[in-house]
């Protein structure tokens, strides 16, 4: 009888233990599912530094601003537009007294010889573009009548390219006038055309004083 009671007691003790063992894993799993998962902290994305490019990558090569050739063509157009205004009479080109930087900036112009031009103009006429009334040599650079007529023919082809038919008509009118009746632009242009990068310097012996 003792043995049976002890066996019965052992069986009764084991059953609750088994039941707990079966229940606990399920409860733990439910606890894990119910537990909130902490949200991940936001990670700052690295900021890429701007890439350095030659010129503006947004402007295709060949457009103004990225192409030296386009810029050169644009500056030439601007020059011709400004010179056309001076050719037909502007406030600056109609001012015939005193030294001013050359209004002509075309292919014969030599920026590094501006001081020499200034010196020659001062020696020849004291920068007086109307100089020589009644005399043989006239204008700021003291052109002879023959040289004044000749330079109109020399300038005409380039003027035709730059200013068209209107420019040619104006050149033909200048051909019939003494140089001291030309405006400042045309006298400056005539000087640089005859100077011709130095090959025409013989026309101004006064250069030796400069």
pLDDT digits (tens, 9 = 90+) for 85-140: 999 999 999 999 999 999 999 999 999 999 999 999 999 999 999 999 778 999 99
- In this structure, the number of other CB atoms found within 10 A of the CB of residue 151 comes to 24
In this prediction, residue 18 carries a pLDDT of: 44
Report the percent of the chain where pLDDT is more than 70: 65
In this prediction, residue 133 carries a pLDDT of: 77
Sequence-separated (6 or more) residues with CB below 8 Å from residue 44: none
In this prediction, residue 135 carries a pLDDT of: 85
Give the span between the Cα atoms of 168 and 84, in whole angstroms: 12
Residue 156 has pLDDT above 80, yes or no: yes
In this prediction, residue 151 carries a pLDDT of: 98
DSSP 17-46: HHHHHHHHHHHHHHHHHHSPPPPPPP-PPP
Beta bridge partners of 117: none
Q: Which of 127, 125, 86 has its CA nearest to residue 105? A: 86
> Which residue did the predictor score with more confidence, 8 or 191?
191
Give the span between the Cα atoms of 148 and 168, in whole angstroms: 16
In this prediction, residue 134 carries a pLDDT of: 76
Q: Which of 181, 188, 100 has its CA nearest to residue 138? A: 181
Place of tokens 């009479």: 89
Give the span between the Cα atoms of 26 and 32, in whole angstroms: 10
Give the span between the Cα atoms of 151 and 170, in whole angstroms: 14
Place of tokens 């330079």: 151
Report pTM.
0.66
Query: How does 53-68 read in b/e, with b if 16+ C-beta sit within 10 Å?
Result: eeeeeeeeeeeeebbe
Asked if residues 113 and 168 have their Cβ atoms less than 8 Å apart, the reply is: no
> What is the pLDDT confidence band of residue 142, given thresholds at 50, 70 and 90?
very high
Residue 53 has pLDDT above 70, yes or no: no
């Amino acid at each position: 009888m003792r043995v049976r009671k002890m066996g019965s007691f052992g069986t009764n003790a084991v059953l609750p233990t088994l039941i707990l063992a079966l229940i606990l894993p399920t409860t733990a799993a439910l606890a894990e599912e119910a537990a909130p998962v902490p949200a991940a902290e936001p990670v700052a994305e690295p900021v890429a530094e701007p890439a350095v490019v030659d010129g503006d990558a947004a402007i295709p090569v060949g457009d103004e601003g990225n192409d030296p050739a386009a810029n050169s063509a644009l500056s030439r157009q601007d020059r011709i537009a400004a010179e056309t205004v001076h050719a037909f009479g502007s406030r600056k080109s109609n001012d015939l007294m005193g030294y001013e930087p050359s209004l002509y900036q075309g292919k014969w112009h030599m920026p590094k010889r501006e001081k020499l031009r200034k010196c020659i103009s001062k020696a020849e006429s004291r920068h007086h573009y109307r100089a020589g009334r009644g005399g043989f040599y006239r204008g700021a650079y003291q052109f002879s009548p023959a040289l004044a007529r000749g330079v109109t023919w020399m300038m005409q082809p380039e003027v035709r390219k730059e200013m068209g038919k209107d420019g040619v008509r104006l050149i033909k009118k200048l051909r019939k006038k003494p140089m001291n009746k030309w405006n400042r632009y045309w006298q400056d242009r005539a000087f640089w055309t005859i100077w011709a990068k130095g090959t025409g310097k013989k026309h101004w012996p006064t250069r030796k004083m400069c």
